Amino acid sequence: MKRRIFIGLAAALTIGACTTGESTYRRSDGTVAKIYRIGAGQESKIQYNMLDSINSLRQAAGQAPVVLNARLNAAAATHSRDMSVQNRPWHFGSDGSSPIDRVARTGFEGLMLGEAISETYETELETLSAWMDEPGTRDVILDPRARKLGFAWLQEPGGKIWWTLLLGS
């Protein structure tokens, strides 16, 4: 009987060592990292962390600051939800809409300059860092015409976050 318990325990420990817990995930480089959990009531804090960080980057690049825009935020939130439903990060909505279409639907009257998206378990600042490492999204974030910012996300129960950033003039 003790032998069965020992074998069962050994098997359980072996299986447990092969998977990450609910609070961790495996990065593409194989390392294990903690899942970033967004708590209730953190929306403003996260949006302003992103806004402040983007404005710091823009200032360092000699660009004017941007301000949060409710209509761009709404378009970003809609797209984050839609990417989760589709289970894929891409710029087109499940109805075939483009970022320009989604922004127009909100009544935004400026020019939509670009969109950055991400599917990750990382913080907003880690996501911004990854966006800045890519020339295309870096150009959108630092676009000299940008004056308005929309930023939103959807976090699934398992921890995956769908981030959407929109910039407009």
Rounded to the nearest angstrom, the gap between the alpha carbon of residue 119 and the centroid of all alpha carbons in its chain is 6
- Strands (DSSP E) found in 5-156: 24-26, 32-34, 67-68, 112-120, 148-155
Give tens-digit pLDDT for 86-101.
876 778 777 878 899 9
Place of tokens 């308005």: 148
Give tens-digit pLDDT for 36-80.
787 788 788 999 999 999 999 999 999 999 999 999 999 999 999
Does residue 15 sit in helix, strand or coil?
Answer: helix
pLDDT confidence of residue 53: 98
Q: Which residue has the higher pLDDT, 5 or 153?
A: 153
pLDDT confidence of residue 23: 85
Is the distance from CB of 47 to CB of 151 less than 8 angstroms?
A: yes
**pTM greater than 0.75 (yes/no):** yes
pLDDT confidence of residue 25: 65
Question: Which range among 3-17, 47-61, 103-117 shows the weakest confidence by mean pLDDT?
Answer: 3-17
Q: Which residue has the higher pLDDT, 160 or 32?
A: 160
